[in-house]
Chains A and B, each alone.
Chain A
């Protein structure tokens, strides 16, 4: 059985190909203007890496992410909240709290031992603590996103950035630059501010270990460290790229659908014979 999961986010498209319960390939591609184009590109790349040539090789595909309705080749769409929870828990079965930080939103899900969502919160009408926030800050500081994620680890005296609003935080950062504050301290301060916001969201669903980060911003080591300090727990690392957790979850759900259908078919076949 070969299935696919396709997660079309605001910043990147992710696709996963899964064969007999194993992830055989995945791809991450920057989002094009049109989500259907991103979806096709991501899935084609994943198929190619898996040594497959065409979409028809997939028994079932689940689409997710904000562009999920535009994944033309998907058999159905499932929300990214359900998929991220399912994917993270499949990758690391002890996970009970998932913090996902994507391009345009962040969310926290509490999950059961079966990967089902118990409760979730999602940021609303605000870019604070999202990929967009980090992109804006990287621009202001004239550094790359990669630098933004690691430079803060060397901070000696993290700056205090009080605002969680992207716009106001940016003006605070400009003030700090003009006061010659160390770059590492500014970056650590920014991540502390985001971690503060995320820990509030975690508090709303209730903190239960293990905790993992998913989404593109999960690769931000300074943020992970800041969040660990806030929550006073060790954040576990997923055994695979955290950015594809949503696509993995979509593929896991796709595999379940195929298995369910096979079971129904076999029961039907028996009752006919």
Chain B
């Protein structure tokens, strides 16, 4: 699907998905700014921003092999884990001043263990993320976030005050608001931006200083809001759901068959920005825990929350006038395996066309992907 946008902002976002250190981040580093890596979207980035640092979502971008990682993990570990750890072992993440993890899955948790032993990064911390999201666990995560502040502050010699946390919450809420405005435009009959382009916008948002990103994103949203151009040549409107996906090229292959991705439930997509952290809550830690663990759409790793996830998907299908749902997962991802099955049953009951796909983190497998998407569209009679 050919792009119709010539925006400078979009181009900068797209370039940021092709590398780890984009020019804006490099500039931040050159000025002495610190950068903290985050494994998984459950790391409360507001705490990093409040410390005066830039949060950077960990990826495996640019990795071509996993020889170094394979010395400490095995082929039953997912390809994201292997590629991102491999980059770490090769020194590609030496621009980071610290890395934060949550135990989003056992595979990611193990990266933390290996990183600690083999890679020289001055600050490493794993937050204990609960497996359920009832009140007791939200309270637990509130305390974990508080402990993070108390650990990070002394290490870097900064004091993360409540006021600074509230400022950071407001800043990241602004990012979420702008991103939702962008998605709002995709509800149009002829959306002005493709799914691949949208993913680039979302990924860039995890790799740039937030104020700078918000400025660029506002420019893009304004430009698209005023434009009457849109994609009219698609065969179907698609919702994409699944785990970690940061490569716009994957969606490009899907869209090359005429399946326009108009919305998603991805951790580089809506799950990271639907709703906002409550700016009026009693304390910032409660507000963050409540948003990350309950208010926004949750990852398949949270037990007992599947009915809410299905309800969210159905609501998005309604809002974005979706014709069919594509579910992707990385091979070996156990969290998304069971989820794909349950989602499929729920959507079948609702009469919504659905297909499950397996992915490798680096190798897109364009031929196989095209065949499945084409067959899916034919199955829908489009």
Contact = CB atoms under 8 A, between A and B. Distances in A.
A78 B371 contact: no
Given A80-B371, A81-B371, A121 B356 contact: yes
B358 A124 contact: yes
Interface stretch (B5-13, B34-42, B295-303, B373-381): B373-381
A46 interface: no
A81 B375 contact: yes
A120 B375 contact: yes
B368 A82 contact: no
Contacts of A81: 371-372, 375, 378-379
Contacts of A43: none
B362 to A, nearest CB: 12
A125 B355 CA distance: 16
Contacts of A117: 375, 378-379
Nearest to B348: A119
A66 B371 contact: yes
Interface in A57-109: 66, 78-82, 105
B331 A122 contact: no
A273 B138 CA distance: 75
A119 B380 CA distance: 10
A32 B166 CA distance: 65
B367 interface: yes
B106 interface: no
B336 to A, nearest CB: 13
A203 B378 CA distance: 22
B171 interface: no
B374 A79 contact: yes
Nearest to A123: B358
Interface residues of B, number: 17
Contacts of A105: 368
Contacts of A122: 368, 371-372
Contacts of B331: 124-125
Interface string B346-370: 0010000001111010000101100
A81 B368 CA distance: 12
B378 A125 contact: no
Nearest to A120: B375
Contact of B379 (A82, A124, A125): A82
Chain A interface extent, by class: 10 to 19
B274 to A, nearest CB: 29
A125 B371 contact: no
Contacts of B356: 121
Nearest to A104: B368
A98 to B, nearest CB: 13
Nearest to A105: B368
A125 B365 contact: yes
B137 to A, nearest CB: 33
B118 to A, nearest CB: 28
A257 B254 CA distance: 26
Interface string A195-226: 00000000000000000000000000000000
A80 B378 CA distance: 11
B74 to A, nearest CB: 13
Contacts of A119: 348, 379
Nearest to B357: A124
A66 B375 contact: no
A119 B379 CA distance: 8
A164 B365 CA distance: 21
A118 B371 CA distance: 16
Given A66-B367, A66-B371, A122-B372, A82 B358 contact: no
B358 A79 contact: no
B358 A78 contact: no
Contact of A82 (B348, B355, B365, B375): B375
A66 B355 CA distance: 19
Contacts of B378: 78-79, 81-82, 117
A80 B365 CA distance: 17
Contacts of B374: 78-79
Nearest to B355: A120
A125 B374 CA distance: 18
Contacts of A120: 355, 375, 379
A38 B379 CA distance: 28
Contacts of B357: 124
B45 to A, nearest CB: 33
B73 to A, nearest CB: 18
Interface string B310-351: 000000000000000000000100000000000000001000
Contacts of A78: 374, 378
B358 A125 contact: yes
Contacts of A116: 379, 381
A250 B371 CA distance: 15
Contacts of A80: 371, 375
B71 to A, nearest CB: 20
B329 to A, nearest CB: 10
A175 to B, nearest CB: 21
Interface of A: 66, 78-82, 105, 116-122, 124-125
Interface of B: 331, 348, 355-358, 360, 365, 367-368, 371-372, 374-375, 378-379, 381
20 contacts: A66-B367, A66-B371, A79-B371, A79-B374, A81-B371, A81-B372, A81-B375, A81-B378, A116-B381, A117-B375, A117-B378, A118-B379, A120-B355, A120-B375, A120-B379, A121-B356, A122-B372, A124-B358, A125-B358, A125-B360
Given A78-B374, A105-B368, A125-B365, 19 more contacts: A78-B378, A79-B375, A81-B372, A81-B379, A82-B375, A116-B381, A117-B375, A117-B379, A119-B348, A119-B379, A120-B355, A120-B375, A120-B379, A122-B368, A124-B331, A124-B358, A124-B368, A125-B360, A125-B368
